[in-house]
Amino acid sequence: MNKERQWIQSLQNGDTVILDKIYLQYKGGFLEFAKRYPIDPDMVLDIYHDSVIALYENIVQGKLNGLKSSIKTYLYAIGKFKIFAYLKSPKQEVLSDKELMEQINLFEIDTAEERLKLLQRAYLQLGPKCQQMLHLFYYKGLKLEDIQREMSYESKDTVKSQKSRCLKQLKEIIRTNGKG
């Protein structure tokens, strides 16, 4: 079984550490790729986040079990379509996932936007320390050692366990809010 097939299987089994790995591994390349388009860097980062969420959703739903390309190619394809949708939209906003799905008819991403909004609302309900922790790790892509220094933790293990608690808290908020 190749590495990417193992990643897909691990994500389907709930191992979100692999998602972190995918996110960080392809982030720099995607941001570099997107520089050829006239888009604000913050919007490019938003598009990348949306693309990773869509990738994850498709993996969890079993839609990539027969994936013929690499995960990187698939992720970049999602991002590329989102970039094109953004550039074509008159308001310069990313098209809703439902509209994008109708245009490209390759990926089912219709729930990704809802999940992203739910995630954003849940994130805002976290305490400031957890928000900072998750922001530094997922958005800025800092390593645990860098977060340790930035947030003045005593050890990398403390950072790791705090990050785990923050993620658990975030998931619980999402679970609670998602039912209502």
The encoded tokens of residue 129 equal 């320390």
pLDDT of amino acid 178: 64
Cβ 142 vs Cβ 136: under 8 Å: yes
The encoded tokens of residue 20 equal 């972190």
Longest dimension (CA), the chain: 50
Tell which residue, 58, 68, 77, 69, has the closest CA to residue 12: 58
DSSP 136: I
The model's pTM? 0.50
For the segment 111-164, what is each residue's pLDDT rounded down to a tens digit? 455 667 778 888 889 999 999 998 898 878 888 899 999 999 988 888 888 988
Tell which residue, 47, 51, 101, 49, has the closest CA to residue 78: 51
Higher pLDDT, 102 or 178: 178
For the segment 28-67, what is each residue's pLDDT rounded down to a tens digit? 999 998 988 888 888 889 899 989 988 888 888 888 777 7
Q: Which domains does the chain have, with CATH numbers?
A: 3-110 (1.10.1740), 126-179 (1.10.10)
